[in-house]
Structure 1
Amino acid sequence: MKNRHLRGLGVLCVLTLLLPASVIAQSTNATISGTVADPTGAAVPNAHLTLTSVATGSVAKTTSGPDGLFSFPNLQPGIYELRASAQGFRDFVQTGIEMTMNALVRQDVKLQLGTAVQTVEVAANVSPLNTTNAEQKGSISPEILQDLPLEVLGTVRSAANFAILMPGVTTGSGGNPFDARINGGLQSGDEAVLDGVSLAEGLMSQSGMVSIQSDFPTSPDMVSELSVLTSNYEPQYGSTTSGQIIVETKSGTNQYHGALYEYHRNTVLNARQFGTPDRSPDIENEFGGAVGGPFRIPHVWGKERRTFFYLNMTGFRAGGALAAPIFSVPTMQERAGDFRDWVDSSGNLIPIYDPDTLRANPSFDPSQSPGLNNLPYLRDQFMGCDGKTPNVICPTDSRMVNSMAPAWFKYIPPPTPGVG
C-alpha cells in the first residue's frame, strides 16, 4: 500500500512538472488548407491528399470531407509538395509550396477529368496573402538571413537585428535594434518567442528585444526564419504591449550538411576615432560551425519514424574596444591644488570657492529675485598662500595636509597628451 501511494505521488509530481510546459509553449507551426473541386467548381469528397516535405521527406496524408475541404495543420516551416487524387480524375501535383512560421495558407485543388495515369503538375508557390484572419506579420526569409551581413560589434551577431527591417518597427533616432519599438508600442514592451517558448527572463520578466538580441543572441547561422507579428495576432501571444518577435531555429534534413565560419575585425581595418591620436585597439573574432542531417540509429529512424538533428556552436573573443572612452581626469597641476587652468571658452577664469566660507549674505533682499547682485549666500574664492593668487589652494592648508586625495590620485592615470 505504501509503495502504491509513493508511485501515485511520483506520477503526480511528474504531471505537475509537465503542466507549465504545456501552458507556456506557443505554436509556431503552419497550416495549409483548401477545397478539392472538379472543373465545374463542385466539391470532390473523399479525395486522397498527400503533403511531402522536400527537406525531410516526411509525409502527411488526409482525405477531403463531404464538402471537399481539407487541412494539414502543425507543419514545420519549409518547402512542400502537395499531391491529390480521386477516382475519375487526373492526379494533381503542386510543387514549391513554401510554408513560413505561423503561416495560414489556402491552396485550393482543381481536379481535371481523366485517368489516374495522367497528372496535372503545377510548379508555383502559394499566394502570400493571408485570407484566413486579419493578422499582420512580416518575415525575414532564410535567404535574407544568409545573404545580408551583420556587423561584428562587441558581441555575438544576433539574427534579431533583422527585425528593424520590418514595416512598423522603428528604433527612434538611432539604429540600435535594442531600442526597437513595434507599431508605436513601448520600448522593451514586445515579447520574444524562440521555437514556441517565450524568452521571459526570471525576476524582471523582461522579454522581447532585450532577451533575444542582447541577453540570448541567436546567431543567423542557427536561425531558419524570423518573423514579427505586429497586430491582430492570436490570444496565445498575450504577454506584450506591442508585437511579437518569433524565431525558428534550423533543423536537420535528409542530407548531411555542415559549415564553418569566421568573422574577423581588427585594429588595422578600423578608422581612427575622432579626438584620439591613434586607432583604438580592437581585435574581434566570431567563429563557429554547424552540422545537421538524419539521425540514422536504431529505434529513432525507420519507415514510420524519422529523426533529424542540427547543432550549431558559436564562439566570440574580443580584445580592446571599438572606441576608446575619453574620461576627464585632474591635471598634475590641479592635483597640487592649482586650478588656474580652469577657464571658460573665452579664457576667463572659472572661480573655485572655499566651501568652508559659506555664509548668509546680510545684504540679501528677499523681495528681489536672486542674481549676481543679490545673492542669498556668500563664499570666498581660494586665493593661495599670499591671498593674491586666485584659484590656488595653499599647500599648507590643514585640509590639504590631511586630505585623502593624494592616496586616491595614485590610482588615477595622468592625462593623455594632445587629448582634451
Structure 2
Amino acid sequence: MRAATAGRTLSVLFFVLVLTAIAAVAQVIVTGEIAATVTDPSGAVVPGAELALEDLASESVVSATANEDGGYVFPHLRPGAYRLGVTSKGFQKSVYDNIVVDAGRTTNVAVAMHVGEVSQTVEVTAAPPLVETTSSTVSTTVRVDSLNSLPLAGRDLLAFSLLTPGAQQPAGSERFSTFNGLPGGALNITLDGINNNSQRFHSGDTSMFTFAPLRLGAMEEVTMSTTGLSADATGEGAAQIRFVTKRGSNSFHGNGFEQFRNDVLNANDWFSNAVGAPRQRLRRNEYGGSLGGPLWKKRLFFFFNYEESRQPSTSLRNAPLLTPGA
C-alpha cells in the first residue's frame, strides 16, 4: 500500500515538473534590467559602493553593493521608472531619477561620483543612452504616453507594430504582414510573456493575428525586436512583438473614455451620391475605463481595465437585375 502511494506521489511530481518545464520554455521574458557602473572623477571604478534602487510605482527598494569592477546588474525589473541612489565613503551621494526600464532590454547607467561628504547629494535626471552597449538586439519600444497620443483607428494595438522599421504589409489584409522578409511562422506575439499567436495561424501566412485582444487602456508598452534576439526570447520566433500590461502602483489611478463616431457627422460617399443611394449608417461607440492602486501598501497591488465596442452599421451592395426585355 505504501509502495503504491509513493508511486502515485512520484507520478504527480513528475507530471508537475513536466508542466513547469513546458511553461518555462513557452514564456518570453517581459522584465528588464539596469546595469550600473560606478566611477570616480578620474574615471576609475569605485568597488564596494552601496546602491539602492527604488521602484517609483510601488516604492519598494532593492539594495546591492558594487563588485570589484564597480558594477552591478539589477535583473528581473518590471517595466517602469526607477530611482537609483549611490553612496561611497569619501564621495557625495549620487541620485539618478526617472531611469526607464523596458521589457527585454538593458538600461545602462554610468554613475559618476564626486568627491565630498556623504551628506551632500548630486541629483541627475536620467536620459536613455543613444546606443545600447550591452545588447546587439535591434528593438523599438513605445510606451503608454506615446500610444495614447497616436491617431489609431480603434483601440487594438496590434496594427501599430506595422509602423516600425522592417514591417511589410501586403495589399489586402494586415494579417499577412511580415518583418524583414521572414515567413509568417517566424513572428511571435506575446502578452505578458505568454504566446498570443494561434498555432494554427502561426504555421501559415496569417500569423499577424492574436486571440487575446490587445486593448489600448490595458497596455503599458510594446517592444518590437526584429534582429539579433537573445536567449530571453526562448527561441519563440525570429521576430518578437512583446506587449506588457499596466500594473497597480502605491497610489490609486484610473480613467474613463468614450470614442464616438456617427453617420450624422459624415458626408455621403461620392459613388452613393452618383446613384442616389442614401448615406450609410455608421454608429461606433467604444467606451470603458481602468482603475489601479494598492491593496496592501508597498506589497500588493491591483489593476483592472474594461473596454467595450458597439458598432451597428450598414453597407451598400450592388447587384445586376435583369429587365423584362432581357
Fold conserved (TM > 0.5)? Answer: yes
**What is aligned with 1:125?**
127
Percent identity of paired positions between Structure 1 and Structure 2: 29
**What is aligned with 2:55?**
53
Q: Deviations over 1:358-417 (max 9, x none)?
A: xxxxxxxxxxxxxxxxxxxxxxxxxxxxxxxxxxxxxxxxxxxxxxxxxxxxxxxxxxxx
**What is aligned with 2:306?**
313
After TM superposition, the structure 1 = structure 2 runs for residues 243-262 of structure 1, keeping only pairs within 5 Å, are 243-262=239-258
**What is aligned with 1:268?**
264
Question: Quick one: which amino acid aligns to residue 191 of structure 2?
Answer: L
The answer to whether the 8 Å contact 1:295/1:309 transfers is yes
**What is aligned with 2:209?**
211
| Structure 1 residues 44 and 22: alpha-carbon distance in aligned structure 2, compared to 1, 3 A threshold | same
> Which structure shows the bigger proportion of residues in strand conformation?
2
After TM superposition, the structure 1 = structure 2 runs for residues 20-35 of structure 1, keeping only pairs within 5 Å, are 20-35=22-37
Question: Is the counterpart of residue 234 in structure 1 residue 216 in structure 2?
Answer: no
1:38, distance to aligned residue in structure 2 (A): 1.9
Question: Quick one: which amino acid aligns to residue 246 of structure 2?
Answer: K
1:137, distance to aligned residue in structure 2 (A): 1.0
Question: Quick one: which amino acid aligns to residue 78 of structure 2?
Answer: Q
Question: Is the counterpart of residue 185 in structure 1 residue 178 in structure 2?
Answer: no
1:209, distance to aligned residue in structure 2 (A): 5.8
Normalising by structure 2, report the TM-score: 0.88
1:290, distance to aligned residue in structure 2 (A): 0.9
| Structure 1 residues 14 and 186: alpha-carbon distance in aligned structure 2, compared to 1, 3 A threshold | closer
After TM superposition, the structure 1 = structure 2 runs for residues 15-414 of structure 1, keeping only pairs within 5 Å, are 15-152=17-154, 157-172=155-170, 177-186=174-183, 189-205=186-202, 210-212=208-210, 215-235=211-231, 236=233, 238-240=235-237, 243-276=239-272, 277-296=277-296, 306-321=299-314, 324-331=315-322, 333=324, 339=326
Q: Deviations over 1:15-41 (max 9, x none)?
A: 332221111011121111132122222
Calculate the aligned-residue CA RMSD, in Å.
2.3
SS of corresponding position for 1:319: coil
Question: Quick one: which amino acid aligns to residue 303 of structure 2?
Answer: Y
The answer to whether the 8 Å contact 1:177/1:209 transfers is no
The answer to whether the 8 Å contact 1:211/1:217 transfers is no
Cα distance in 2, alignment partners of residues 239 and 113 from structure 1: 48
Q: Deviations over 1:199-248 (max 9, x none)?
A: 23144445986323xx433111111111211211114353435x221111
Question: Quick one: which amino acid aligns to residue 326 of structure 1?
Answer: R
Question: Quick one: which amino acid aligns to residue 166 of structure 2?
Answer: G
Find the structure with the greater CA-based Rg.
1
| Structure 1 residues 59 and 206: alpha-carbon distance in aligned structure 2, compared to 1, 3 A threshold | farther
Q: Deviations over 1:175-210 (max 9, x none)?
A: x64343322334575221111112231444459863
| Structure 1 residues 240 and 9: alpha-carbon distance in aligned structure 2, compared to 1, 3 A threshold | closer
1:70, distance to aligned residue in structure 2 (A): 1.0
Question: Quick one: which amino acid aligns to residue 240 of structure 1?
Answer: G
Count of aligned pairs: 318
Cα distance in 2, alignment partners of residues 134 and 141 from structure 1: 21
> What residue ranges of structure 2 are gaps of 5+ in the alignment?
none
Q: Deviations over 1:50-69 (max 9, x none)?
A: 11111111222211111212
| Structure 1 residues 209 and 270: alpha-carbon distance in aligned structure 2, compared to 1, 3 A threshold | farther
Question: Quick one: which amino acid aligns to residue 127 of structure 2?
Answer: N
Cα distance in 2, alignment partners of residues 70 and 256 from structure 1: 33
Cα distance in 2, alignment partners of residues 6 and 33 from structure 1: 46
* Higher RCO, 1 vs 2 (CA within 8 Å, ≥6 residues apart): 2
Cα distance in 1, alignment partners of residues 269 and 176 from structure 2: 24
1:167, distance to aligned residue in structure 2 (A): 2.0
The answer to whether the 8 Å contact 2:197/2:207 transfers is no
| Structure 1 residues 249 and 209: alpha-carbon distance in aligned structure 2, compared to 1, 3 A threshold | farther
SS of corresponding position for 2:103: coil
Question: Quick one: which amino acid aligns to residue 109 of structure 1?
Answer: V
The answer to whether the 8 Å contact 1:52/1:82 transfers is yes
SS of corresponding position for 1:9: helix
